[in-house]
Amino acid sequence: DTWKYAFEEAITDVQGVFATKFKEELEKNTDHEVQLYPYGTLGESADIMEQAQAGILQFVDQSPGFTGSLIPEAQVFFVPYLLPSDTKELNSFFRNSKAINENFKDLYAQQNLELLTMFPEGEVVMTTKEEVRSPSDLDEVKFRVMTNPLLVESYKAFGATPTPLPWGEVYGGLQTNIIQGQENPLFFVDSTKMYEVTDVITYAGHNNFTTAVMANKEFYDGLSDEDKKAIQAATDAAFEYILDYQKGLSEQAIENIKKAKPDMKVVVLSEEERAPFKAAAATVEEKFIEMTGDSGKAILEQMKADLKAAMK
């Protein structure tokens, strides 16, 4: 039989490379076939999630940036400066996190989804039309964010006018000046040519892009133990593969961008310049607790404990 797996990026992007490895592993070890559906083949992120919940798709990769309305707690990944910028610590967090492997597993299960894994996709940078050195530079800037209420709060706290949009509207929105900024990891800024429609890249160090891979839960629960084990093994193999694959990826992407557009301005904010953005994080954390109550509080605490353990 054939299992369908949809994701939010092109086949050569990080989610696509993960999915390709998952498919290879699963097909090597079982009789099942996996058919991959990159971004654009079945609709936007919200569409593929609906299809996965309905069982039309067996697997889906949806980033927490789009899961906020379904699972409000998933917005925790948008508390700025929560995740470490050190790759080793970051990877260790994703590898061992109880918040992910226990708390989030339960929350996704309540939505008929078997959470298989979460993994990072790289440091997020802002791309804008004008230079951003401080929150006041974001005043009046319509800044596109994924459709996630906490990300909206985050960019409000950063001084911008947040504009939640599905991915498909971002390039055109920047081109026609309906929006003047967006954030994404560098590989994606490169592969989707965001640099063509913005002029400045700003490293504020405020986040790393997190994504999540899941299976339809009824489908998963109905599988033999052997198949479940094969899926877990393929997930683990793809997880380690994608962490390794990303070594040097952001550096390569920025080189590609500079080559494609030599006058692209690249600004790395100093510690001093980051301070007001970091100060905004406390407000965003409060908003997160307001939005999610005890359940969110528990997740945040577990995440902080996991992060502490990962930094040892």
| Residue 184 touches ligand 6CS, criterion: CB under 6 A | yes
Structure tokens at 128: 């804008």
Residues 6+ apart with CB under 8 A from 239: 18, 94, 95, 117, 119
CA distance 143 to 130: 12
| Residue 9 touches ligand 6CS, criterion: CB under 6 A | yes
Q: Which is nearer to ligand 6CS, 22 or 220 (CB)?
A: 22
| Residue 121 touches ligand 6CS, criterion: CB under 6 A | yes
**Residue of 3, 77, 119, 167 interacting with ligand 6CS (CB under 6 A):** 167
Query: 3-state SS of 248-278?
Result: CHHHHHHHHHHHHCCCCEEEECCHHHHHHHH
| Residue 73 touches ligand 6CS, criterion: CB under 6 A | no
**Residue of 185, 217, 238, 250 interacting with ligand 6CS (CB under 6 A):** 185
Least separation in angstroms between CB 144 and ligand 6CS? 8
**Residue of 53, 58, 63, 216 interacting with ligand 6CS (CB under 6 A):** 63
Q: Which is nearer to ligand 6CS, 212 or 230 (CB)?
A: 212
Burial of residue 225, with CB atoms counted within 10 A of its CB: 0-12 exposed, 13-18 middle, 19 or more buried = exposed
Q: Which is nearer to ligand 6CS, 9 or 190 (CB)?
A: 9
Whether the CB-CB separation of 130 and 200 falls below 8 Å is answered with yes
| Residue 94 touches ligand 6CS, criterion: CB under 6 A | no
**Residue of 3, 4, 5, 8 interacting with ligand 6CS (CB under 6 A):** 8
Q: At what angle do helices 14-29 and 225-245 cross, to 10 degrees?
A: 140
**Residue of 146, 152, 197, 214 interacting with ligand 6CS (CB under 6 A):** 146
| Residue 209 touches ligand 6CS, criterion: CB under 6 A | yes
Structure tokens at 293: 């109550």
Query: 3-state SS of 210-254?
Result: EEEEEEEHHHHHCCCHHHHHHHHHHHHHHHHHHHHHCCCHHHHHH
Q: Where do the H-state alpha helices sit in the chain? A: 14-29, 45-54, 64-67, 87-96, 98, 105-109, 149-157, 170-175, 186-191, 217-221, 225-245, 249-260, 271-310
Least separation in angstroms between CB 184 and ligand 6CS? 5
For the segment 250-279, give every residue that binds ligand 6CS (CB under 6 A).
none
| Choices 112-120, 184-192, 221-229, 302-310; region in contact with ligand 6CS by CB under 6 A | 184-192
Least separation in angstroms between CB 225 and ligand 6CS? 33
**Residue of 45, 97, 163, 198 interacting with ligand 6CS (CB under 6 A):** 45
**For residue 141, how many C-alpha atoms fall within 13 Å in the half-sphere facing its CB?**
28
| Residue 188 touches ligand 6CS, criterion: CB under 6 A | yes
CA distance 117 to 79: 20
Least separation in angstroms between CB 35 and ligand 6CS? 20
Q: Which is nearer to ligand 6CS, 184 or 216 (CB)?
A: 184
**Which residues bind to ligand 6CS, rule: CB under 6 A?**
8-9, 45, 63, 121, 146, 167, 184-185, 188, 209
